[in-house]
Structure 1
Amino acid sequence: MAPVATASAATGPAGPAPRTIPGHGPVTRPNMASVGTIVWLASELMFFAGLFAMYFTIRSVNPDLWANHTAKLAVPYATGNTLILVISSVWCQWGVFKAEQGQVARTGPVWDFMRWGMREWYVLTYIFGAIFVSGQIKEYADMIHEGITISSDGYGSVFYLTTGFHALHVTGGLIAFLLIIGRSFTSRRYTHAQATGAVVTSYYWHFVDVVWIGLYSVIYLLQ
């Protein structure tokens, strides 16, 4: 009698069953932390869209303020500060690559950056982000010296509100980097959850980078 064909445990009526990672479910299922972060960033995008709308509305009502105040902006200084933030996103992405590979720390001397791990790249990202925030604080001091404050007029209000809220978001990202870096020291084993935390933090950092490019273009270039 011919042998009866039996279905393999790895197959089913619809074809091969989805591969799974022990303890993490099917690999085809989206990461809930990543999805949640993207949804939250979408709501943050709406928040900044409101700030942009406020900026253009007040500018259309009081164009003379922009004609008088934009000449006081230090465009070359802001351009350099913008480049610092953009470069920090490059370092952040290198950290993501290392996190996805499971390499938490460097495997060679500190000057051999090709053997750096997630921790070193994220420390460098943190330094560049802190320099950017410090640069904004210095610019605020210069603007106040020029007589432009948050209560001086409509231009001062929208300038400090738009850039100030962005600076708060950057500061929040710096705190997140400290948490990720700190966890890499306190844990004996680099886990899937820690790698996910590093990745979603990079989503946030790239988001504040893109938002700043928009703010920089509107405030400093489209004067």
Structure 2
Amino acid sequence: MASIVATLSIGHNGPVTSAPIAHSPVGGINRPNTVQVGTIVWLGSEVMFFAGLFAIYFTLKSTSPALWEDQSSKLNIYFSAAITIVLVASSFTAQFGVFAAERLQKWRTGPWWNLKRWGVVEWFFLSFAMGAIFIIGQVYEYALLVSEGVGLSSDAYGSAFYMTTGFHGLHVTGGLLAFLIVIGRFFAVKRFTHKEAVTAIVVSYYWHFVDVVWVGLFVVIYVFPRIGV
């Protein structure tokens, strides 16, 4: 999470694209943007981190199948599905913010209900709000599970559940902080340039990543026990 925040202050010298390699008008290829490439490489290391968490979860599950069956029945899959939809939807709103950034549009240029005229600030504010709803929902779910005796140190299931979902929640919180930082930066600058646009793109990479990871966690932790996997 610290890495994504650190990249927000790095400049940009090339054209703005959603991919790290940009084609020049004459058909040549410019140098890859170091900020975007660095972010992708760092996210690769985060993939390995979450792969380790998945491995721990499945290992503990294989040693205590009866415990997993009993404790997973206490999960509210419908509530979790609702906040999952909110989080996944925030990935789309963040991407709409990227589209606005690519056309160097900081603010909306029409009435608030005309989404086609929104700028990156409005889309990122909406993405932040949806991510915050997810975190609030996750904290609420934690409170319910603790009241039912499922705690971090209660048993192997509790440890695996809170470790996997908790680390993901910290990453989402890091993404929320990144949204606030870039929004504040956009407010501060007088002229929205390629440099600010690349910052928006980098944040979207991170946000898409945490959303994809959560979909995997939701399937493994909530859906698989319901279908007997």
What is the TM-score normalised by the length of structure 1? 0.88
Quote the offset at 1:192 in angstroms.
1.3
Cα deviation code 1:168-205 (max 9, x no counterpart):
00000000000111111110111211110100100000
CA RMSD of aligned residues (A): 1.4
Within the candidate set 77, 81, 92, 1:79 is matched to 81
Cα distance in 1 between the residues matched to 2:69 and 2:156: 13
Quote the offset at 1:30 in angstroms.
1.2
Aligned to 1:215: 217
Quote the offset at 1:27 in angstroms.
5.5
Aligned to 1:4: none
Quote the offset at 1:111 in angstroms.
1.8
What is the TM-score normalised by the length of structure 2? 0.86
Cα deviation code 1:29-61 (max 9, x no counterpart):
211111000000000000000000000000001
Quote the offset at 1:64 in angstroms.
1.3
Cα distance in 2 between the residues matched to 1:181 and 1:111: 20
Cα distance in 2 between the residues matched to 1:197 and 1:67: 44
Aligned to 1:54: 56
SS at match of 2:179: helix
Query: Which structure 1 segments of 5+ residues have no match?
Result: 1-17, 21-25
Alignment of 1:103-182 (within 5 A): 103-182=105-184
Cα deviation code 1:85-107 (max 9, x no counterpart):
00000100000000011001101
Aligned to 2:38: 36
Cα distance in 2 between the residues matched to 1:143 and 1:159: 11
Query: Which structure 2 segments of 5+ residues have no match?
Result: 1-22
Superposition misfits of 4+ residues, deviation over 4 angstroms: none
Aligned to 1:15: none
Q: Kindly provide the amino acid, as one letter, of the partner of residue 106 in structure 2.
A: V
Give the share of equivalent positions with the same residue, in percent.
56
Q: Larger C-alpha radius of gyration, 1 or 2?
A: 1
Q: Kindly provide the amino acid, as one letter, of the partner of residue 81 in structure 2.
A: T
Aligned to 2:202: 200
SS at match of 2:73: helix
Q: Kindly provide the amino acid, as one letter, of the partner of residue 134 in structure 1.
A: I
Quote the offset at 1:71 in angstroms.
0.8
Quote the offset at 1:130 in angstroms.
0.2
